[in-house]
Chain A
Amino acid sequence: MAGFNKVVTNYADAMNGLEDGMTVISGGFGLCGIPEGLIAQIKEMGVKDLTFVSNNCGVDDFGLGVLLENKQIKKMISSYVGENALFEKQFLSGELEVELTPQGTLAEKMRAGGAGIPAFYTATGYGTPVAEGKETREFNGRHYVLEEAITADFAIIRAWKADKMGNLIYRDTAMNFNPMAATAGKITVAEVEEIVEVGELEPTHIHTPGIYVNRVIKGNFEKRIEKLTLSR
């Protein structure tokens, strides 16, 4: 009986069930707070035609960029994709489809998806290319755009600490999209820096309750810095 023990000990088990053509939501902002080992495992598995929902698409040789390199991504739903030469090449050649989504709308689409809300109205993007083809409506004299929620076959996230039941705590701004992503996967896999015994985490300090999390794996993170800026 596994009960509520969500811990898996190898990456093959962590990503078991991922198949060609599936949709994957990934936490992270830039290279901060990304599930490095789970991304590496997807590369290892070689599954193709994936749709990724992620704020960014990594850099050429790190983060989701490694899956571009391997031509495993068919479509990206992101808010900003500027840091990646491979991305540009595949986008311009038509190999890669891109759906640009405002950052706050992207976060809310994941949140809504996980919370059972199929769509929501936001003023973001009204009158811009983002609103084209979407329903709009006026509330109290302001215009809003109807945006649909996002869910996925898998959500891959990174947290700082997990207990064995999958309760999660994030660290600093590595939190970013991870809490919403965690709620929106049919299977949510958390790669974490440390796994502790049940009862060691203070219940009120838990950011993501274990109910959202299916699998937990302890990772080793490079934590590459995208832009090192120092005070003079």
Chain B
Amino acid sequence: MALTREQIAMRVAQELQDGFYVNLGIGIPTLAANYVSTDIEVMLQSENGLLGMGPYPTEDQVDPDMINAGKETVTAVKGASIFSSAESFAMIRGGHVDLTVLGAFEVDQNGNIASYMIPGKLVKGMGGAMDLVAGAPNIIVTMTHADKHGNSKLLESCTLPLTGVNCIKKVITDLAVLDIRDGAFHLLETAPGISVEEVQAKTKGKLIVSDSVREMQFN
């Protein structure tokens, strides 16, 4: 069975290591915060200018001056810091954020990502995504493996306007976990009940399957 959004988020959460500063994009990446192991400490960065983002507020805690990059009301954890957008992107562009997780429309075998614009539809803008993919040393994309018509989103070459080039190192989908290196997708893990053949059929870009492919583990 393909993973649900929550299950993808659970698998993403396993990528967060103790002591990491992490930027989680809107959607599935944000959900991952709910599944971070209690054995580790991570600090969440929100690119509007908050390091140490906490959970959503209770009704009593709601403050219009405390929002995240998705414009949602949030809280700050103990040890948080708040700063300007220039400072925020200095830490992003400067490579100080350990891990960025974001969604995409397409990713290709050279690590290119398209995530902000579908020609012919209204262009809403890239927000901070272009800075994030240009800056983080470690970037993971989460998305469904194929679109709702069954077309692969893991391509030989992105067809939509790019958000960044040669920057994506890992993709976590509803079917699989894959590394991107040396101009190919490398299959690392399959979702429970998903065959290697299905992943192959739904991956349009070059896919390398080693003998060590595992099934994803969930605790």
Contacts and interface: CB of A to CB of B under 8 A. Distances in A.
Nearest to A112: B86
Given A104-B93, A104-B131, A227-B71, A171 B84 contact: no
A231 B84 contact: no
A108 B66 contact: no
A2 interface: no
B59 interface: yes
With most chain A CB atoms within 10 A of its CB, the pick from B92, B123, B166 is: B123
Interface stretch (A14-22, A67-75, A173-181, A195-203): A173-181
B86 A124 contact: no
B93 A79 contact: no
Nearest to B48: A29
A4 interface: no
Contacts of B205: none
Given A123-B93, A129-B117, A176-B84, A231 B126 contact: no
Main secondary structure of the interface of B (DSSP, over half): loop
A106 to B, nearest CB: 8
Interface string A179-194: 1100000000000000
B125 interface: yes
A124 B135 contact: yes
A92 B72 contact: no
A26 interface: no
A227 B73 contact: yes
Interface in B53-105: 55-59, 62-68, 70-74, 76, 82-86, 88-89, 92-93
A179 B86 contact: yes
Interface string B136-162: 000000000000000000000000011
B134 A125 contact: yes
B118 to A, nearest CB: 13
Nearest to B130: A102
Top 10 A-B pairs ranked by shortest CB distance?
A104-B89, A104-B131, A82-B124, A127-B165, A223-B64, A80-B125, A102-B130, A103-B128, A30-B71, A174-B65
29 contacts: A55-B85, A82-B124, A83-B71, A98-B123, A102-B127, A103-B89, A104-B85, A104-B86, A104-B131, A107-B85, A107-B86, A107-B89, A108-B86, A110-B86, A123-B134, A125-B134, A130-B126, A171-B65, A173-B50, A173-B65, A173-B66, A173-B68, A173-B82, A176-B84, A180-B85, A224-B64, A226-B71, A227-B70, A230-B57
Interface of B: 46-50, 55-59, 62-68, 70-74, 76, 82-86, 88-89, 92-93, 112, 117, 122-131, 134-135, 161-166
Given A104-B86, A180-B85, 16 more contacts: A32-B48, A102-B127, A104-B88, A104-B89, A111-B86, A122-B134, A123-B135, A125-B134, A128-B130, A179-B86, A207-B84, A223-B64, A227-B67, A228-B62, A229-B73, A230-B58
